[in-house]
Chain A
């Protein structure tokens, strides 16, 4: 189907530690995999994305990895800071243009 499974649903880490969130999908037509961050009461905002012809992408403390064979992709946040606390959503896209989102991961970074 077109759904995306996201784990874990909640994640608590100590400031400075790393956080990893994983998503899996089943539709082989998927070719675009963005990650959005949503702070409480705010709109979702793109933080990083990757296309199917790339295995890894990094932007400062944030990285995304994609395994097309296994149909999973992951968000890695290093050196976490309290301001990283938010809900993170993975999503998948294909030629239909719409994005299908995972159920979200609530990340808490403890000072």
Chain B
């Protein structure tokens, strides 16, 4: 059973460009979460999605950031008009449908560098 797959692992963008990060959850997992980790800092919650639904986007910046988890295909985190402060590791995690909170399984992360 493959783990959570993220790509690209490394992405370099110039200021003003768009960054698109992809995440395929583990097989059988219907919940996807995105976290941002700045250098030497903790994991900050961004958004929680289920198929075709954004459940909680309380951690998403109000501008330039969007996320989706379509019926078919991976979850996408999109950052428009990137700025240097967007440079970070973006981790995706997934969990199975469950009646209680439980373990999140993390991918290896996508490391965005904005020049």
**Known A32-B100, A44-B91, A97-B101: A104·B41 in contact at CB below 8 Å:** yes
Kindly list chain A residues whose C-beta atoms are within 8 Å of the C-beta of B101. 31-32, 93-97, 99
Q: How many residue-residue contacts, CB under 8 A, span A and B?
A: 56
State whether the Cβ of B104 lies closer than 8 Å to any Cβ in chain A.
Answer: yes
* A32 surroundings in chain B (CB, below 8 A): 100-102
Asked if B25 CB lies within 8 Å of chain A CBs, one says no
Give residues 66-111 of A contacting B (CB, 8 Å). 89, 93-104
- Measured between beta carbons, the chain A residues less than 8 angstroms from B55 are 97
> Does B43 have its Cβ within 8 Å of any Cβ on chain A?
yes
* Residue A42 CB within 8 A of the other chain: yes
Chain B neighbourhood of A96, CB < 8 A: 48, 56, 101
Q: Which 10 A-B pairs have the closest CB atoms?
A: A93-B101, A32-B101, A43-B106, A101-B43, A103-B42, A104-B42, A98-B48, A46-B103, A43-B108, A44-B106
